Amino acid sequence: MIKEIRTLRKKVHIHPVFWIVFGTGILTGHFWDVTATFFIVMMHELGHAYAALFFGWRLTSMELLPFGGVAKVDESGTRPFQEELIVTLSGPMQHFWLPFVSSALLLTPYWNMTNHEMFLEKNWMILLFNMFPVWPLDGGKLLLIVLSRYFPYRRAYRLALLFSFLFLTLLTIWVVFHRTILLNYFVIALFLLAMLIKEWRQQRYVFMRFLLDRWQKATLDHLEGVTVCVPKDMMLMHVVEKFYKDRHHRIMIQGKKEQHIITEKHVLNAFFNENYYDQAIGKLL
Ligand SMILES: [Zn+2]
């Protein structure tokens, strides 16, 4: 526990924008508003970070932004479904006990009913915002986790990003028609759009890391096994696009009359070691 807390302390980075909002809030007399936001966002991220460390994930950093945070982990597609789900849900779960902290604070002279109501509103708003199905918010991550169960990783990832674009566009249209919280919304929507475009451009790189990570793992036997059938003349780079996130694969190569089964490691070795990515898989037999 103490070791995990020390690791966490070293990883926390506070985004400069956060300090600007924090400083402006204090100068304009919104001390409790900004303190409450800081506390809620911090608790939310600690939820993710603690769950990640509990499962032994490599946590690279934890960045705090004015409207949420991003706990970055160096794990790409080799963790079981349940772990991914728990780590992603651990942030949103924090919002359900935070109201009790605010209620307890009412017993002190520093906290009144106005503060309490403000705290509850911020708590639920930050939760709601984080549940939007837009990458890289928790809702977007959940979307990717669910899609990864039913589609190969490469396609699931693309679908999750496309759905995020679509949701963000529809939400923006809705906000424009209802003329609510316009300025705040547009700042956040632009930030999300920038993150999405960056992620979209990095698709190939993310996919390569996904494959590389699988290749470097000593074993993937802890994951559920699945057989992928491919024709003999399919190129290796298209075969790997059929790989699922939390399974390990046996590749059944189908010729005209015969069938052969090879392991995922065999394919990945040929892909990375021998640069066979543009060769037909039949060459591995
Ligand atoms: Zn979160």
Residues 59-101: tens digit of each pLDDT: 777 777 766 677 777 665 667 788 889 999 999 999 999 999 9
Give the pLDDT band (50/70/90) at residue 143: very high
Nearest to 43 by CA among 92, 103, 88, 102: 92
Catalytic residue among 4, 45, 199, 264: 45
| Arithmetic mean of pLDDT over the chain | 84
What are the CA-CA distances from residue 134 to residues 84, 175, 271 (Å)? Answer: 17, 16, 32
Look at the pTM and tell me if it is higher than 0.85: no
Distance 144 CA to ligand 1 centre (A): 14
CA of 143 to the centre of ligand 1 (A): 13
* Residues 221-249 pLDDT 10s: 777 788 888 988 888 889 999 999 888 88
Name the more confident of 20 and 138: 138
45: annotated active-site residue: yes
Mean pLDDT lowest among 7-11, 216-220, 261-265: 7-11
